[in-house]
Chain A
């Protein structure tokens, strides 16, 4: 038996259909019950089927920090979160700034087999922001890199940013900018505002993000290039992207699940699990981000899954590392912030978490509808009730998530990658 019959599944949260997965593709979709033989049948009563999710922003830490995550463990967490493809950020050690490193990550992803691992190439050598990395070599390698980013660091030098935007046009690449003006954020610890003023933590002002996005959309317009903005976090950033899109600038943008739900008030605990970059912002920002995601100004939800070893979080806030893990909780957090609030439908969630991210990453095989003849990348989720996210069911090597120990909306029941189940009954199927 190799195929799967999804019996009575709610397609994008709407009509109930039977879906037959066979030979790596969707072979039948029918409103009438199907009765094929020789396949596994999954009773999907109450379950929602979405196209397999695509993450534009994942830190897998390999090579270099295999104590906090490996390609194997991170992509397993991705599969459990309903992802079929992830983009592995370049800030590894060594940095993914050569064809050799991106091919290694790509190969490790294939060997693990939990999802498609698409390496992101560094924009500049060593992420130092001074000299362009060999972008074309990475693009033409076996890893076929299309997204380039110095994520974790901003390409702050305007001339370097302009050249990078221009250069990647030759192979339909895109620069994914971590928008953070470095001088305005030296030693910054959290959002600059009332809370930071009280906590005595150095502020990370919204303008440090917005000024870079403003500059970059104008640069992208000027040179006619594609720009992708990583993890928008402020209401002002949403406004700027909305304005740029209205002018026809080829800009796309992402938001993390945590920025859709959490605010800087949480820093009052001084619990470094809430220390992320960009920082958690005000309630007004959260509302603007949700609105931006709902109206399509923001194209994608991207996890910014950032594993860190315990000792980098069990310390003083100011010496703690930035970031939280997010692959396994992403869909739950999106359900909480967008579905339970009535701001978005499951169809729109699939657009922001599968269709558009696949398009931004130039993944032709992903982000396709669940329709006959399409590659069988499917996630089955149970949106009813809550389920616990625990240290036991966390597949990441790291535990830096404030959601661990909480009951979260929804549960990923199964994930199919090219018709092969990577997750069944909420557990890794291997």
Chain B
């Protein structure tokens, strides 16, 4: 594995399966009586959040604490965008604190890459969502959830048919998922109105469709993306009603899914827009489980990046 987790493309098939397997083992432990493992005792993990995301921050914090790491939450109110402290100054501060890993969430695409490449900090950088770029730990927990339901928690996802629906253009979750799922051998189809599919998508390792109803029966895992209603002000779609008609998941569409298919959503949901309450809470939904799986997967990421020798320790 590389020293940082910045993009799902940083992971080879072996890396990805190792993370998922490790998460399986950790889940068995923490689902049982073990609440805390000593593995990362003495390591410092910093949650550097430039953007509010309580769920992701709490998930990483729980993961780090269950491995006995010291956790520092650093909520940077405003970045250099709003003339606050610059990314560089914050990074230098964290370096002075001796962070072994920095988990960074930022509204600017590439912020995690810049932290990792700058030489400002020595520890591992974990991208917890950067702008509209990537969110690799989310993709890993999604893959983990799919593997549990569709592949008995083992191996890769070869042949699993995944359909990702919604605002792909602005979605870091979709970008990371497409890359990771391709690595794991899944067949991915993106479904959205053409305005919400990025220009240049032809070279992505996936299929594109504008017709959700056609794709539904051929879907094993259906992932609904959050769609912001304000997008209609920029002419991405005419109205939320028209969007829901074409691309929202309602009870009728759930019924069109095959009997084993699962329904996923990275949250937070816009109930009534991209997903109906019935679909979100129904039998096919694994949305709540995704949240729980997030902790195991993030424990696995932290263990594999920090549990062994750091590069400096090996060379010394």
Contact = CB atoms under 8 A, between A and B. Distances in A.
For A192, A194, A205, the residue with the greatest tally of chain B CB atoms inside 10 Å of its CB is: A194
B203 A316 contact: no
A315 B201 CA distance: 28
Interface stretch (B51-59, B128-136, B238-246, B291-299): B128-136
Given A201-B110, A205-B199, A270-B117, A314 B86 contact: yes
A311 interface: yes
B108 A197 contact: no
B32 interface: no
B199 A317 contact: no
B110 A199 contact: yes
A197 B204 contact: yes
A316 B106 contact: yes
Contacts of A203: 198-200
Given A193-B199, A271-B117, A315 B86 contact: yes
A400 to B, nearest CB: 15
Contact of B81 (A193, A311, A316): A316
B114 interface: yes
A269 interface: yes
Contact of A270 (B81, B114, B202): B114
B228 to A, nearest CB: 16
B201 A197 contact: yes
A199 B133 CA distance: 5
Contacts of B204: 197-198
B189 to A, nearest CB: 17
A208 B230 CA distance: 24
Contacts of A194: 200, 202-203
B210 to A, nearest CB: 17
Given A200-B172, A200-B175, A203-B199, A316 B87 contact: yes
A131 interface: no
B200 A269 contact: no
B88 A315 contact: yes
A314 B88 contact: yes
A314 B115 CA distance: 11
Contacts of A197: 198-201, 203-204
B233 interface: no
A318 B108 contact: yes
Interface string A314-357: 11111100000000000000000000000000000000000000
Nearest to B204: A197
B68 interface: no
Contact of B86 (A193, A200, A311, A317): A311
B134 A200 contact: yes
Given A270-B110, A316-B111, A319-B81, A196 B131 contact: no
B79 interface: yes
A318 B81 contact: yes
A194 B199 CA distance: 7
B22 interface: no
Contacts of B114: 270-271, 316-317
B311 to A, nearest CB: 20
A404 interface: no
A201 B109 contact: yes
Nearest to A317: B110
A201 B114 CA distance: 14
B4 interface: no
A288 interface: no
A195 interface: yes
B182 to A, nearest CB: 12
B79 A200 contact: no
Interface string A194-220: 111111110101000000000000000
Contacts of B108: 316-319
Nearest to B198: A197
B3 interface: no
Contact of B109 (A192, A199, A205, A271): A199
Contact of A269 (B111, B117, B175): B117
A126 B201 CA distance: 39
B59 to A, nearest CB: 21
A361 B111 CA distance: 42
B113 interface: yes
B79 A316 contact: yes
A314 B204 CA distance: 30
A20 B207 CA distance: 69
Contact of B87 (A192, A199, A271, A315): A315
Contacts of A193: 199-200
Nearest to B201: A197
Given A314-B86, A316-B79, A200 B199 contact: no
A271 B118 CA distance: 9
B80 interface: yes
> Which A-B residue pairs are the 7 nearest by beta carbons?
A270-B110, A200-B133, A316-B108, A197-B200, A200-B132, A197-B198, A194-B200
Given A199-B109, A200-B130, A200-B175, 6 more contacts: A197-B198, A197-B200, A199-B133, A316-B80, A318-B131, A319-B108
18 contacts: A194-B202, A195-B200, A196-B200, A197-B198, A197-B203, A199-B133, A200-B110, A200-B172, A201-B109, A203-B199, A311-B80, A311-B86, A315-B80, A316-B81, A316-B110, A317-B110, A318-B109, A319-B80
Interface of A: 189, 192-201, 203, 205, 269-271, 311, 314-319
